A and B are shown apart, each in its own frame.
Chain A
Amino acid sequence: MAPEPDIVIIGGGNAALCAAMTAAEAGARVRILEAAPKPYRGGNSRHTRNFRCMHSGPLGPLIDRYSEDEYFEDLLKVTGGKTDETLARLAIRLSEECLPWMEAHGVRFQPSLSGTLSLARTNAFFLGGGKGLVNAYYRTAEKLGVEVSYEAPVTHLEFDENRIVRVDYTQNGETHHVSPKAVIVASGGFQADIDWLTRAWGPAAQNFLIRGTPYNRGVVLADLLDQGVEQVGDPTQCHAVAIDGRAPKYDGGIVTRLDCVPFSIVVNKHAERFYDEGEDVWPKRYAIWGRLVAAQPYQVGYVIIDAKSINLFMPSVFPPIKADTLEELAAKMDLPADKLLKTVDEFNAACGDTSSFHPTELDGVSTTNLTPPKTNWARPITEAPFYGYSLRTGVTFTYLGLKVDENAQCSIGNRPVANMWAAGETMAGSILGQGYLAGFGMTIGTVFGRIAGREAARYAN
């Protein structure tokens, strides 16, 4: 048996690894307890692809500059002000020094991916995506002497007053106990526990798909909150987007996204439209569509497009359902055909002049006298073959988490937990009260992972 570690890190994603490498470099003996088996290690970081980074001049793959204020403004827009300004600005300011640190620890960047040019200034893309980053970090961490236990889910943390005295975990069907000097919690949210989601959101959550890892079941989070550790974030909410309805229940990741809604009409199970499909460009709207679809019968929507729009969006992971007539499409998608024809006819009749159609800009090509209206990209659905996709609600993450201070330290009963810090998705609710900013989850994980590692090592040494 290896000697007792100074620091136990719960979780094996980006935040956990950043904490582990930082603490190991400070001389601490570190053990990672990762719930997932090795092929699934890394939590939701496996599915990420970039890191939103402040920079005062060109930096790595990033062009131009992205100031603290602009970054913070962007955050305010998506969160509607629901953020902790001190922690948010800390994450933003420290992101700049993170990028070279990430490179020094094995991460490699690439120019902005095709289809993501809008992020070329603000987000640094990992070569190979998040799993590439996770692999590089595990290599570096192991070189630094970090010990990693896979399939080792933590079940309970034992408190004595305001100190963790024992961590219980299972491995190979046996319960183990470890009593490190310090603990870092980096085990994500609870979105993979459908029962918990259902209790929080309502019965509709049974039909949600989970976009990321099936291992974020919130066991540690629940254990800590039950014992009175201070929480943050709306316990009933999750970040959800509309994704391909044929996606796997868990772990579908990036490929299940569908970008075709703005060029479509979207109907529910009764073949009725329910929202303006052309309200704004898709990156600004996919999140509200997660909620819209969740509010429809059976939590499902159906996208209908025609031949002239099929090449206007990123290819989908599964080919669309295709038919020569709308009746045939309705049959293939199990929709009432007469109703669908009526909806399409009404929509087509409400379409006007489409000559200024422009797929990448708000073009103002809208319907008239239609409820709900379609305010951009409204072109009649007339050209065979017709294509269809089903849409379901895909949960990205939950907001409920552990409240931390600027040192990533947790608290209980109005005083700090002497030897416990938190990083990553499990504390991100402090900064992201609602909404999401692309690449910001990795920023929070990297910045607070490093802070937690530094603080825990300082305490343990």
Chain B
Amino acid sequence: MQTDLIQEARRQAEICNACRYCEGYCSVFPALHRERAFSDGDITQLANLCHNCRGCYYACQYTEPHEFALNLPKALAEVRHDSWKSHAWPQGFATLFDKSGVAIGAGLLLAFTFLFVLAQALRPESGEGFYAYMSHGLMVAVFAPAFLLPLAALAVSLRGYWGTVGGGSLAVSDIWDACRSAGRMKNLEGGHGDGCNFEDEDRFSHARRHFHQATLYGFLLCFASTSSGTVLHYGFGMEAPYGLFSLPKLFGVPGGILLCIGAAGLAWLKTKADRNLGAPKVWGGEMAFVLLLFAVSATGLALYAATGTGAVGWLLPVHLGTVLTFFLLTPYSKTAHGFFRMAALTKEAASKRAAAI
């Protein structure tokens, strides 16, 4: 961890702890006010609890030009980003975090080329739908490891994080609490229910929360679509292509549309928000991540729309290329934030419970 970033966040947290005006905005402040002194682990946990809603910045009487120069959303964003890097496993890949934009770009190019060449070289003799271009076996051979290995790497990262922040044994009720908080995006509601500050200075709105919800639930629906396809394939011998009124399509089409809208909305909001209230150095990488999500959903929908046409021949590797890039970079890009966020929310639920006893 970079000690100067932690030290700066600690300096700011100590000022916040003497003020407490922002107690009602989000989970960060009640957590902060429970402590008198902040260890590196405490600061790391606060950083991952912060959803960057910016309410505290715009309400703060100590922002620049005041000599206290508070900018807690930025200080925590920088620690947060650094904490993902320092917990990345294997450590050799950690620098990918700083070059997310480049990594995503290069990943896309490589993944597309790889899949295109593979598809051409191993084009099946027969097959229906996209299986006419790439066999089921080949897809599984590529995507099973591309899905499972990053998840394993992420699990190691999260274990490290859990140790850093002093997490104890996991309680189901705490995980459930975290799921409810994330499911509602409670921390972007602003305490008063008017939403957060993001795209228009101190005006509260639900725009970011709603676009994030669309992204999150869209993504989960897409995941459900793929999972249901897997179950149908192996469990019931029902192979793709599926009709519109099949589970994979009923999950996948609305999911893809939601993800498309959500990602496009988040990207748009990001262009309007003040970059200096986040981690300015990784703005580009974060933007690339949002656009990658958009590309995953847009190419998925396009592939479905192109069913039966020759365009499938190139759309398939394009779509699968975006998915492959997304999977492979999960532990080393903004995608990781969701997992760290869930860990932080779970830890906060546990701390809250302990404090209440």
Contacts and interface: CB of A to CB of B under 8 A. Distances in A.
Interaction A to B: yes
Interface of A: 39-40, 46-47, 49, 108, 110-111, 113-115, 125-132, 135, 139, 248, 251, 253-257, 311, 314-319
Contacts of A132: 21, 58-59
A49 B67 CA distance: 21
A367 B58 CA distance: 48
Interface in B158-211: 191-192, 194, 202-203
B56 interface: yes
B60 interface: yes
A139 B21 contact: no
Contacts of B66: 251
Given A127-B192, A129-B59, A135-B59, A110 B19 contact: no
Contacts of A318: 14
B20 A114 contact: yes
A108 B15 contact: no
B302 to A, nearest CB: 42
Nearest to B191: A127
Contact of B21 (A40, A49, A311, A319): A49
Contacts of B17: 315
B21 A315 contact: no
B21 A129 contact: yes
Nearest to A128: B59
B23 interface: yes
12 contacts: A110-B24, A111-B24, A113-B20, A113-B23, A128-B55, A130-B21, A135-B202, A248-B67, A253-B61, A254-B19, A255-B19, A316-B18
A439 B119 CA distance: 72
A113 B61 contact: no
A128 B64 CA distance: 17
Contacts of A49: 21
Interface string B7-33: 000000011011111111100001001
The DSSP consensus for interface residues of chain B is loop
A131 to B, nearest CB: 5
A229 B83 CA distance: 62
A114 B23 contact: yes
Contact of B65 (A39, A47, A139, A256): A39
B140 to A, nearest CB: 52
A237 B41 CA distance: 48
A314 B21 contact: no
Interface residues of B, number: 32
B230 interface: no
B53 to A, nearest CB: 11
Contacts of B33: 114
Contacts of A139: 202-203
B34 to A, nearest CB: 9
Nearest to B33: A114
A108 B192 contact: yes
Contacts of A254: 18-19, 21
> Which of the listed residues A39, A47, A115, A128 has the most CB atoms from chain B within 10 Å of its own CB?
A128
A316 B280 CA distance: 31
B335 interface: no
B223 interface: no
Contacts of A131: 58-61
B327 interface: no
A247 B66 CA distance: 12
B63 to A, nearest CB: 7
A47 to B, nearest CB: 6
A115 B20 contact: yes
Contacts of B68: 248
A439 to B, nearest CB: 14
A145 B60 CA distance: 26
B62 interface: yes
A248 B18 CA distance: 15
A318 B30 CA distance: 20
> Which of the listed residues A46, A126, A129 has the most CB atoms from chain B within 10 Å of its own CB?
A129
A129 B191 CA distance: 13
A30 to B, nearest CB: 21
B56 A128 contact: yes
> Which of the listed residues B17, B20, B21, B65 has the most CB atoms from chain A within 10 Å of its own CB?
B21
A408 B89 CA distance: 68
B192 A255 contact: no
B202 A110 contact: no
Contacts of B23: 110, 113-114
B85 to A, nearest CB: 29
B58 A127 contact: no
Contacts of B191: 108, 110, 127
A374 to B, nearest CB: 25
A128 B25 contact: yes
Nearest to B16: A255
A255 B25 contact: no
> Which of the listed residues A110, A131, A132, A139 has the most CB atoms from chain B within 10 Å of its own CB?
A132
Contact of A317 (B14, B21, B59, B60): B14
Nearest to B202: A135
